[in-house]
Structure 1
Amino acid sequence: MTDIPLEHVHVAPDDDAAPAPAVFVLHGRGADEEDLLPVAESLPDDLHVISLRAPDPLQGGYTWYELDLSGGGLHESQPHAADFRRSLDLVDESVAAAIDAYGLDADRIGLLGFSQGAITSLSLLLEGPDSYDWVVGLHGYLPDSHAELAPDGIEGKPVFVGAGTGDRVIPESRAEAAVDRLTELGVDVTYETYATGHGIGREELADVVAFVGARVA
Structure 2
Amino acid sequence: MSFHPLKYRFIAAAEQPGQRPTLLLLHGTGGDENDLLNLAEELTEGHVNLLGVRGNVLENGLTTRFFRRLGTGIFDYDDLRFRTDELVETLKNVSASEGFDLSKVIALGYSNGANIGGAILQKYPQLLAGAILWRPMLPLPDEKPATSNGAPVLLTSGQTDPYFQPANMKAYEQLLTSAGFRVQHEILPSSHNLTQQDMTLAREWLKTNFSI
TM-score of the aligned structures, taking structure 2 as reference length: 0.87
User: Does the residue aligned with 1:104 lie in a helix, a strand or coil?
Assistant: coil
Q: CA deviation at 1:216?
A: 2.6
- Say if 1:19 and 1:103, in contact at 8 Å, map to a contact too: no
CA shift for structure 1 position 51: 0.8
Range with bigger deviation, 163-172 or 89-98: 163-172
Instruction: State the alpha-carbon separation in 2 of the partners of residues 182 and 124 from structure 1.
Output: 12
Counterpart of 2:6 in 1: which secondary structure?
A: coil
Q: How does 1:32-51 map to 2 (within 5 A)?
A: 32-44=32-44, 45-51=46-52
Q: How does 1:20-31 map to 2 (within 5 A)?
A: 20-31=20-31
Q: CA deviation at 1:157?
A: 2.0
CA distance in 1, matches of 2:63, 2:8: 13
One-letter code aligned to 2:55: A
Unaligned runs of at least 5 residues, structure 2 = none
Following superposition, the deviation at residue 208 of structure 1 comes to 0.8
Runs of at least 4 residues of structure 1 off by over 4 A? Answer: none
The sequence identity of aligned pairs, in percent, is 22
Quick one: which amino acid aligns to residue 41 of structure 1? Answer: E
- Between the aligned partners of 1:20 and 1:104, the Cα distance in structure 2 is 8
C-alpha displacement at 1:148, in angstroms? 4.2
Residue 152 (str. 1) matches residue 135 (str. 2):
no
Q: What is the match of residue 212 of structure 1?
A: 206
Alignment of 1:167 onto 2:161: yes
Question: SS of 1:130's equivalent?
Answer: coil
What is the TM-score normalised by the length of structure 1? 0.85
Q: Any conservation in 1 of the 2:12–2:50 contact (CA below 8 Å)? A: yes
Q: CA deviation at 1:15?
A: 1.2
Q: How far apart are the structure 1 equivalents of 2:17 and 2:54?
A: 26
Distance in 2 between residues matched to 1:179 and 1:17, nearest whole Å: 32
Assess if the C-alpha contact under 8 Å between 2:124 and 2:145 holds in 1.
no
Counterpart amino acid of residue 142 in structure 1: L
Matched, 1:104 2:105: no
After superposition, the CA RMSD in angstroms is 2.1
More displaced stretch, 165-174 vs 93-102: 165-174
Instruction: Give, in whole Å, the separation in 1 of the partners of 2:167 and 2:43.
Output: 28
Alpha-carbon distance in 1 for matches of 2:145, 2:58: 33
Q: Which position in structure 1 is the counterpart of 2:68?
A: 66
Amino acid at match of 1:182: L
| Partners of 2:123 and 2:143 within 8 A in 1 | no
Q: Distance in 2 between matches of 1:147 and 1:110?
A: 24
